[in-house]
Structure 1
Amino acid sequence: MRIAAAGVVPLPIEQAAVWEDFAEQVDGPLFGRYLWTENGKSCAVIALYRATLTGGIPYLIARHAPVWLKEASPAREAAFREDLKAEIKKRDPKISFVRLNAIYSAPDLEEPLQGITYDRTVIIDCGNGKAEKILQTMDSEGRRGIRRATKKLAEVGAQVYEETHLDQKDFHEYYEVLKETAQRDGFRPHPESYYWNFLQTLGAEHARLFCVRVPESPEATAPEAAQAEGIQIHESTVRTPQPGKTGPGRLVAWDLVTVYDQQATAFFGASTTADRPLQATSYLDFCTAQLLGSEKVKGLDLMGAHSPRVPQLYTVGMYKRRFASHYTDIPGGWDMPLRSGIMPVLRTALKTKRGLSSVVKKLRKN
């Protein structure tokens, strides 16, 4: 898959071999990797993993796939799915549906049973690590926001750190900030072990942890920076503590970022409610993109924005929009049923565990 995509399109990390160990922990084992051809020419690649719904109903999941090597027309997408259905039914007829991505809606696709998909995102141009180049790609409100955040954080002596190599006991501080964010924004976080395993399994080459810390004592602030006229954005000053250590001060915002094939994705992030006026989150996103740009990463994907299909992401989408001059459309997530009439039954059954257990028994009989 890596060779097929090389020089054509970046391969999403979820479709790369480095994802396999983590996927086995959270979804299930690899079902297969496939190359789809048309008239002998390579058109798409896909890696599928086994997964199960509560109650044991099996399905397959392909995150950010298929990856198209040729233009994905509606006809090509449909032909690809027909061939994929035939292959899956031949190998394992018990599979109920496949969760995959597609640009175009179609009769054989349905809205995902669970979770929120997105078909639009914002990608920060990392500008080869040059702050002014990144600022040029942002809208005017975004540029003003970064300058305001720079000034506010300078007033309290805040510092950005990369803490990828911290000890597990220190990661608990990160999880506490995530729980606070979840309560504020109305979502349910995974267990702490999920995020720690993500960081450890993908490894420091592919999973990076960045944060903003504010000194605990007033004496640690930098008033001379705060009083400077016309605060300027300078080259990245991200610091790296010794392995197994964290930077000094109180954690106020963090990003867990993946890096693969010269592309980065802000997978997870959190911030404290009391420190939101400091605008540490936007400053952290900017500094992270800047540092990664200096390492030849081309873009930092902020992972999801609102669209006509997904209005629920409007608020977060408007925040992310400040980091780029335009949104980037991507294939959204869909469920492709493999058994006739299965999806309405599953939607009803998922409302109660008792109903789902009943469906499982019927499916096993069939």
Structure 2
Amino acid sequence: MNNDQLEHLLIQVNKISISELEQKAACLGVNLPIEQTSAWADYQATIPGRSAWGCVELVRDGATIALLSLFDYETHGYHYLRSAHGPVWCVERDDALEAEALEALAAYIRKTDKKVVFCRLAVASEPASVEPVLSTRPYNQTVVIDLAGGTEEDILSRMKPRGRRDVRKALRESPAVCADETELALQSFEEHYDVMRETGERDGFVPAPCSDYEDMIRILGPEHCRVYAGRIDGRVVTWSIVTISGTRAVRYYGASLSETMRQHVTDKLVLFECVDLFQNKGCADYDMMGIGSDFAPELMGLNEFKTKFAKNGVVDVAPDRDLVVKKTFYRALCAAKKLRDRS
């Protein structure tokens, strides 16, 4: 994009601090995702290969239209930016506005940092400036549980019949004792991590090192991160790591032992979490974080479990896409990925 084209952009991109981002969001009544907060920035700064790139405000006609916090990822000899669940829109988004905003953002990044090849962020539409992500598994739907009322019956009343049946059965028959174990997990996460190891072997993934979960819990702190667990005879059989930002809770990670799955111990735990998050943590809704769809068929295996907790809870979200900054370099990365996929 040349200077003449830049002058015609109606959206201005301003660099701001993370504290300014949080203040502007608060003034505009916007509930930030946890990934767009200073607490998350502190956590990400501890992960090798990642560093805070900065925050920006997108302005049109003098009004803030979107905010985003960006992190620099260095991998395989190149750099890209990531803004998880950003931009955070402060006005009603439409495809034309989103396309214009992305064009302005790409021009700003291109001018500001010559190292950046692309920027991975949440994009609802499919403008010409973006491509499907080179890696990771993005999703465009999630399940959000409405926590209004905050009692077990309030939560159960809004579940699908299958969800109510499974949870009520667990309440009657499961010996699992559920509790907020944040303080215990801060002392040691090893017992919980053993459950994650088994979950990974069963579901075909390799979990992050135990220290990653411990760092997340410790750095985000109890205000923004809780650990819930279900135990049978004193042994952890299921657990969740839940993040909190404002009134939104998100089930970020979860694990369970295969031997107790038929007892619906995780169903019992989810209900416990919903009640506690409303009554003791001030949360209004609980995001189960991603399900399968035509966009993400590889995640369809999550739907049976997650969708039963809210009969009207399926929500469309903007999936991650790559905003291309250096076109030639990005095409080379795509070609290399195709070669790897064939081998």
> What is the rounded CA distance, in whole Å, between the counterparts of 1:96 and 1:75 in structure 2?
24
- What's the CA shift for 1:279? 0.7
> What is the rounded CA distance, in whole Å, between the counterparts of 2:211 and 2:223 in structure 1?
20
Q: Which SS does the other structure have where 1:141 is aligned?
A: helix
Letter in 2 for 1:31: W
- What's the CA shift for 1:181? 0.4
- 5 Å matches for 1:264-343? 264-295=249-280, 296-326=282-312, 327-343=314-330
Letter in 1 for 2:82: I
- What's the CA shift for 1:350? 5.0
> What is the rounded CA distance, in whole Å, between the counterparts of 1:86 and 1:170 in structure 2?
46
> What is the rounded CA distance, in whole Å, between the counterparts of 1:288 and 1:4 in structure 2?
30
Query: In structure 2, which of residues 164, 186, 190 is the aligned counterpart of residue 143 of structure 1?
Result: 164
1:2 is aligned to 2:51? no
Q: Which SS does the other structure have where 1:96 is aligned?
A: strand
Query: In structure 2, which of residues 191, 206, 214 is the aligned counterpart of residue 173 of structure 1?
Result: 191
Question: Aligned residue for 1:246?
Answer: none
Identity of aligned residues (%): 33
Report if aligned partners of 1:124, 1:299 keep a CA contact under 8 Å in 2: yes
> What is the rounded CA distance, in whole Å, between the counterparts of 1:276 and 1:342 in structure 2?
47
Q: Which SS does the other structure have where 1:275 is aligned?
A: helix
Letter in 1 for 2:206: R
Runs of 4+ in 1 over 3 A off after TM superposition: 167-170, 347-353
1:42 is aligned to 2:64? yes
| Greater share of residues in strand | 2
- What's the CA shift for 1:325? 1.9
Gaps of at least 5 residues in structure 1 are 216-248, 354-366
Letter in 1 for 2:231: R
> What is the rounded CA distance, in whole Å, between the counterparts of 1:182 and 1:350 in structure 2?
25
Q: Which SS does the other structure have where 2:50 is aligned?
A: coil
Question: Aligned residue for 2:85?
Answer: 64
Q: Which SS does the other structure have where 1:331 is aligned?
A: coil
Query: In structure 2, which of residues 230, 237, 240 is the aligned counterpart of residue 255 of structure 1?
Result: 240
Question: Aligned residue for 1:30?
Answer: 52
Query: In structure 1, which of residues 347, 350, 354 is the aligned counterpart of residue 334 of structure 2?
Result: 347
Letter in 2 for 1:76: L
Rg (Cα) greater in structure: 1
> What is the rounded CA distance, in whole Å, between the counterparts of 1:193 and 1:152 in structure 2?
35
> What is the rounded CA distance, in whole Å, between the counterparts of 1:351 and 1:74 in structure 2?
29
Residues 161-218 of structure 1, C-alpha deviations (whole Å, 9 max, x = no match): 2111126664111111101101111112111111110000101111100000001xxx
TM-score normalized with structure 1 length: 0.83
Q: Which SS does the other structure have where 1:127 is aligned?
A: coil
Moved more, 158-167 or 341-350: 341-350
Q: Which SS does the other structure have where 1:122 is aligned?
A: strand
Report if aligned partners of 2:106, 2:324 keep a CA contact under 8 Å in 1: no
- 5 Å matches for 1:213-252? 213-215=231-233, 249-252=234-237
Q: Which SS does the other structure have where 2:206 is aligned?
A: coil
Question: Aligned residue for 1:212?
Answer: 230
- 5 Å matches for 1:124-203? 124-153=145-174, 156=175, 158-166=176-184, 170-203=188-221
> What is the rounded CA distance, in whole Å, between the counterparts of 2:170 and 2:101 in structure 1?
47
Residues 53-81 of structure 1, C-alpha deviations (whole Å, 9 max, x = no match): 2x221010000000001111111111111
- What's the CA shift for 1:341? 2.9
- 5 Å matches for 1:47-126? 47-53=69-75, 55-126=76-147
**Cα pair distance change 1:317/1:167, threshold 3 Å:** closer
**Cα pair distance change 1:171/1:292, threshold 3 Å:** same
**Cα pair distance change 1:167/1:15, threshold 3 Å:** closer
> What is the rounded CA distance, in whole Å, between the counterparts of 2:157 and 2:186 in structure 1?
38
Report if aligned partners of 1:127, 1:290 keep a CA contact under 8 Å in 2: no
- What's the CA shift for 1:352? 8.3
Q: Which SS does the other structure have where 1:114 is aligned?
A: coil
> What is the rounded CA distance, in whole Å, between the counterparts of 1:350 and 1:260 in structure 2?
36
Question: Aligned residue for 2:17?
Answer: none
Report if aligned partners of 1:103, 1:332 keep a CA contact under 8 Å in 2: yes
Report if aligned partners of 2:186, 2:218 keep a CA contact under 8 Å in 1: no
RMSD (Å), alpha carbons = 1.7
> What is the rounded CA distance, in whole Å, between the counterparts of 1:256 and 1:347 in structure 2?
34
Letter in 1 for 2:135: Q
Aligned residue-pair number: 316
Residues 293-315 of structure 1, C-alpha deviations (whole Å, 9 max, x = no match): 10321011100011220111112
Letter in 1 for 2:165: R
Letter in 2 for 1:3: Q
Q: Which SS does the other structure have where 2:293 is aligned?
A: coil
Q: Which SS does the other structure have where 1:97 is aligned?
A: strand
Letter in 2 for 1:20: A
Letter in 1 for 2:22: R
